[in-house]
Chain A
Amino acid sequence: MPVRVMVVDDHPIWRDAVVRDLAEAGYHVTAAVGDGGQAIRVAPAARPDVVVLDLQLGDLPGVEVIRRLVATDPTVRVLILSASGEQQDVLDAVKAGALGYLVKSAGRAEFLDAVVRTAAGDPVFTPGLAGLVLGEYHRLAVEPVPAADTPRLTGRETEVLRLVAQGLSYKQIAERLVVSHRTVQNHVQNTLGKLQLHNRVELTRYAIEQGLDHEA
């Protein structure tokens, strides 16, 4: 059964190009929409396995779209494809549950590879994203009042992330650290998983503090 993909991008040329590439590569593009609200409305019917999402949408913040998509269907896998350099947006998107981030200038092959990996549940870690995640862990570490459950990186995880951020492939990292490819992948997945978990815990705590937990 082909992988079902939904494309969300408010730029028509781009949307068409991405849809064409995906279709040529044998994916089943179940929906291609131009704004976040539409994406959220269409998603239950389109039942995508993978959502290729541009963060700059006309109506809703990308983070909000991801949050709602994941809330509706926790198994959905979101790949961010963005021309934007707005790093905080990317970081927030990843913390909200996106599996990977690719700049739009990435090549076609790289993009299709990223879709394959996203569909398999593997995080797509570009150097840029690794740098953002490293920075986020640092920010959490130097917070004035660190909570007991603040996620921290192990030494190995830091090492792996830094190498990813310096442009090394998983294979090169595995060779350099003398570990298996799978181990590198696990480390990377863990760094992201801890952040997403922390983010969910924080959101829940916030909701309880604000008395919003019964709402929605």
Chain B
Amino acid sequence: MIPGMETLRARAPAPDPAPTSRKLPAVLAGVGGCLFLVAATSTNVPSFLTGGMYSTVFSNYAPSTLLEWLYLAVPAAATACGLYLLRWWPYLLAAAGLLAVPGVLAEWGISTGMVIEGFAPPASFYLAVVALLACAQGLVRTTAGWGAAVAALVLGSCLVGSAMTHVLPWGTVPGTVPAWQIALLGVGLAGLAPAVWFHRRGDSAAAGSAGSRPGERVRVIVAGTLAAAMRIPLSLLTAPSLAHLLGVSWSAIYRHNFATGAVIGAIALVAVFLLAALAGLWPLAGALIAAAAQVAVVAPALLAVSALNLDGLAPWLAALAGAALGAAAAGSRLRLPLAATLTLLAATALVIAYGATTGDPEKLAEQHTTIPAVLILVLCAAAATSVVGSVVPTLAPRGAVPAVLGPLAGVLAFGGLELTSESYGLSNYAYSPVTSQVIISAVLLPVAGIALCGMGFAQLLAARRAERKQAEQIRREAAEAERDRLARPIHDGVLQVLALVQRQGAELGPRGGELAALAGEQEAALRGLLAGGADAGRDEAEDLRAPLKALAASGVEVVTPAQPVELPAATAAEVIAAVRAALDNVREHAGADAHAWVLLENERDGVRVTVRDDGVGFPPQRPAEAAEAGRLGIAQSMRGRIADRGGTTTIDSRPGEGTTVEFRVPRVPPARR
């Protein structure tokens, strides 16, 4: 298998026979699934923004009954199931939609039993998130834009749902919610139907490269499941156990509940960070960026919704507009610059709000200033959703599975929120007074935007590199194949005839001798050419044999070992140039009928090249004279080049006995180590 092929194949999917017919059901299903999320987050399921978690620091006891433990395990079970069955995402979504029904019925006062009411909504929520991200990944294969838009809507729909009702408790209009929810679930299930039909045999693209690599698949499932299971160990961190752990008294925990919240957040953050790293470096980067955007959007959303809470539909209309804008930005070709721009705009709006209220943005909420609040909500929602949406197509070519981002980013966001809750001045942010500290969001949003662009850039560089590597590989293989194709007939035919001419021409008098010499030169050149293609194109280490063989001519014999003699390419070039200079010297000074031999040897720590001729030779002082006279040929070209590479040159000559030049070069130049 050629390295780099994997990535390229992922980048260039096989042409889809009917792209529109397969794209449309998936997009419909994605939007339909998002309606489930709106319904889910507008009931009392803990918000997606926090990964379905809430601070447990104020509870005095750990779960005790089996049912309570099982309840905590529901997200992990749903995530594991979702990640295991990624390619069956339409069925998962359908299951999520059906599981959302008991929660809605409960809102209407129709009870389906405590157990179902407790277990079904969180399971529905986690299944929906994983399945929607799988749908996005499947779409990314054919159209990156729609995949990104669906992923963006996952966060957007949670924001819309939260803006509607309970989790942000200001907008509740009794009696209206369940009707909405029933409508949402109905429309969502209807939108899902075509996808269930089209992908009734599964959507293999949804699993990404993890579908074909068992090891990666296991890592993704384990990382996502463990992240979703984070609530179990964290639920053990009750006030008494935390006091014990930190070595302080209970009362201290109650007095400094912000700090203890931050401790829990930090623990969650570190644990999920490690889990994300288990899933791979790219998912880690993606999850961190998505989490940063999710953390950043909470405070401004709380602020804006509380400012708008007398304006009826305004909060969720604004959230809807923001989500749509974010999804459109993520879906466009320019998603990275657009997302970065949106984060900067949102940050600017927040900074202005902060400054205009003289450092107390809560005034916006107290005075119900509609236009600024709408602007902030739209911009922040758009910024966060576009960032989260853009992460998916940026990650997908790197083989990362976006579906794992849902649980990872959710729990990371929980940890981040707990950590920042102290500076927000929130103990239980969902029900607390609106923060006056939106400035952290103003910083986090651009950071997420910039990190996203950085990741996009890194992905681009990695893709370029893989492309170059593959092109180089193809070129090399083609060159090798071509060489092999040519080599056989040339060996069998041309070289044989040239050798024969060379041999027998020499016996036909002076003109024949000339012919023989010409034939000899051509033979050497041809052989050099054939050998030359073999190892060309290697960047790091260059085999000296081929370029030296190319220097062979009539009267110049090049002797090499059968094993490669490798030096760093730059050093090799210098050595070859030095040998060429030495051969030039032979031609100019050794006499007309002098022969030369070039011997190449591997030594334990370096390379030795000897150039010997049987010419007239010279007294030992000649090169020094030449150097003084300004003819620096030998001194500069040979000694200088070799010394630059940490090597030595010895020249040995006596009149009438020819000249021997010996270069010894270490494999690693000492000065450049």
Contacts and interface: CB of A to CB of B under 8 A. Distances in A.
Interface stretch (B146-154, B247-255, B371-379, B601-609): B601-609
Interface string A110-135: 01000000000000000110111011
Contacts of A91: 562
Contacts of B499: 83, 103-105
Interface string A128-152: 1011101110110110000000000
Given A105-B503, A106-B503, A135-B563, 4 more contacts: A13-B500, A17-B504, A107-B503, A131-B600
B502 interface: yes
21 contacts: A11-B492, A13-B497, A56-B491, A56-B492, A87-B560, A87-B562, A91-B562, A105-B499, A108-B504, A127-B557, A127-B559, A128-B557, A130-B559, A131-B560, A131-B561, A131-B600, A135-B561, A139-B563, A162-B610, A167-B595, A168-B612
Contacts of A105: 498-499, 502-503, 520, 523
A138 B604 CA distance: 8
Given A83-B495, A167-B612, A139 B503 contact: no
Contact of B610 (A11, A84, A166): A166
Contacts of B549: 85
Contacts of A7: none
A83 B491 contact: yes
Given A105-B520, A108-B507, A131 B559 contact: yes
Interface string B506-534: 11000000000000100100010011000
B561 A104 contact: no
B559 A165 contact: yes
Interface in B528-581: 530-531, 549, 557, 559-563
B562 A83 contact: no
Given A105-B520, A130-B559, A166 B599 contact: yes
B597 interface: yes
Interface in B575-631: 595, 597, 599-604, 610, 612, 614
Interface string A77-110: 0000001110110110000000000011111100
Interface of B: 491-492, 495-500, 502-504, 506-507, 520, 523, 527, 530-531, 549, 557, 559-563, 595, 597, 599-604, 610, 612, 614, 660
B504 A165 contact: no
Nearest to A163: B612
Contact of B602 (A88, A106, A127, A135): A135
Contacts of A17: 500, 503-504
Interface of A: 10-11, 13-14, 17, 56, 83-85, 87-88, 90-91, 103-108, 111, 127-128, 130-132, 134-136, 138-139, 141-142, 162, 165-168
Contacts of A107: 503, 506
Contacts, number: 104
A100 B14 CA distance: 57
The CB with the most chain A CB atoms within 10 A, among B504, B523, B597, is that of B597
Given A14-B496, A88-B562, A131 B491 contact: no
A131 B491 CA distance: 22
Contact of B597 (A83, A134, A167): A167
Nearest to A175: B657
Nearest to A58: B492
Given A11-B492, A127-B597, A167 B614 contact: yes
A166 B612 contact: yes
Nearest to B502: A105
Contacts of A56: 491-492
The CB with the most chain B CB atoms within 10 A, among A56, A83, A127, is that of A83
Contacts of B491: 56, 83-84
B601 A134 contact: yes
A175 B355 CA distance: 97
A20 to B, nearest CB: 10
A56 B495 CA distance: 12
Contacts of A85: 527, 530-531, 549
A88 B600 CA distance: 15
B660 A166 contact: yes
A138 B601 contact: yes
Contact of A108 (B498, B503, B562): B503
A136 B597 contact: no
A81 B121 CA distance: 85
Contacts of A131: 559-561, 599-601
A14 B69 CA distance: 89
A88 B562 CA distance: 5
A135 B601 contact: yes
Contacts of A135: 560-563, 601-602
B520 A128 contact: no
B616 to A, nearest CB: 16
A135 B565 CA distance: 9
A162 B491 CA distance: 29
Contacts of B600: 131
A169 B496 CA distance: 27
Contacts of A11: 492, 496
Contacts of A136: 561-562
B444 to A, nearest CB: 53
Nearest to A91: B562
Contact of A14 (B500, B507, B604): B500
B597 A166 contact: yes
A7 to B, nearest CB: 14
A71 to B, nearest CB: 24
The CB with the most chain A CB atoms within 10 A, among B497, B599, B604, is that of B599
B655 to A, nearest CB: 16
Contacts of B562: 87-88, 90-91, 132, 135-136
A135 B557 CA distance: 17
B473 to A, nearest CB: 24
A155 to B, nearest CB: 14
A210 B206 CA distance: 49
B397 to A, nearest CB: 39
Contacts of B506: 107-108
B358 to A, nearest CB: 74
